């Protein structure tokens, strides 16, 4: 069962491991990120931060979609983390099991505007998120489980 799809440019870090994993207690974390999946040094660094009680799998976005759709992830209590909005929307649209997108943290940049103190998006990303919401995918901002959900409509 997929418990959470989170967008966080840092992928796996303390807030994800301690707050979200502590709340959800997943037995598998899937990092769906093309750059990380093809970089052995980055994969090794991500493995250092994983919780002891969870398996860590790092795949490209395409391979992640295939694994979900083929049922390979069904046996897990799964948390998915991707590094950007575009990949998260693609994951949600191309699978039937993902019903929501958690916006946790995206970088500030000159071509981005704030949706929250931790979430910055481009106009194109905001359009994608609103389209996903209109398609029935819940899109929400929530840094940690104890924060209130801010639903994007």
* Total domain count, the chain: 1
The CATH number linked to 81 is 3.40.35.10
- The pLDDT value recorded for residue 124 is 97
Mean pLDDT within 53-63: 96
What average pLDDT score do residues 114-131 get? 96
pLDDT value at residue 92:
98
For residue 13, the model assigns a pLDDT of 85
pLDDT tens, position by position, 9-40: 999 987 777 889 889 999 999 999 999 999 99
Tell me what pLDDT residue 121 has: 97
**Mean pLDDT calculated for residue range 94-119:** 96
pLDDT at 117: 93
Check pLDDT > 80 for residue 115.
Answer: yes
Neighbours of 153 (CB within 10 A): 8
Mean pLDDT to the nearest integer, 41-64 = 94
Report the pLDDT value the prediction gives residue 23, as an integer from 0 to 100. Answer: 92
Give the chain's mean pLDDT. 95
65-98: per-residue pLDDT in tens? 999 999 999 999 999 999 999 999 999 999 999 9
Long-range contacts of 114-123 (CB under 8 A, 24+ apart): 115/141, 115/152, 116/141, 116/143, 116/150, 118/143, 121/85
Instruction: Confirm if 76 and 56 have CB atoms less than 8 A apart.
Output: no
CA 36/CA 32 separation, integer angstroms: 8
For the cut 90, the answer to whether the pLDDT of residue 57 exceeds it is yes
Residues 6+ apart with CB under 8 A from 75: none
Residue 94 belongs to domain spanning: 2-152
């Amino acid at each position: 069962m997929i418990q959470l799809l989170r967008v966080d440019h840092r992928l796996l870090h303390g807030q994800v491991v301690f707050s979200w994993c502590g709340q959800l207690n997943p037995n598998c974390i899937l990092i769906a990120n093309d750059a990380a999946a093809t970089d052995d040094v980055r994969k090794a660094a991500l493995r250092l931060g994983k919780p002891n009680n969870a398996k860590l799998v790092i795949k490209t976005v395409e391979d992640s979609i295939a694994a979900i759709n083929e049922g390979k992830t069904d046996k897990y209590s799964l948390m998915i983390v991707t590094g950007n909005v575009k990949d998260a929307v693609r994951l949600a649209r191309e699978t039937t099991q993902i019903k929501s997108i958690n916006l946790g943290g995206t970088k500030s940049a000159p071509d981005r505007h704030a949706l929250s103190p931790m979430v910055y998006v481009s106009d194109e990303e905001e359009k994608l998120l609103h389209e996903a919401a209109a398609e029935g995918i819940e899109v929400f901002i929530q840094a940690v489980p104890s924060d209130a959900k801010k639903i994007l409509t």
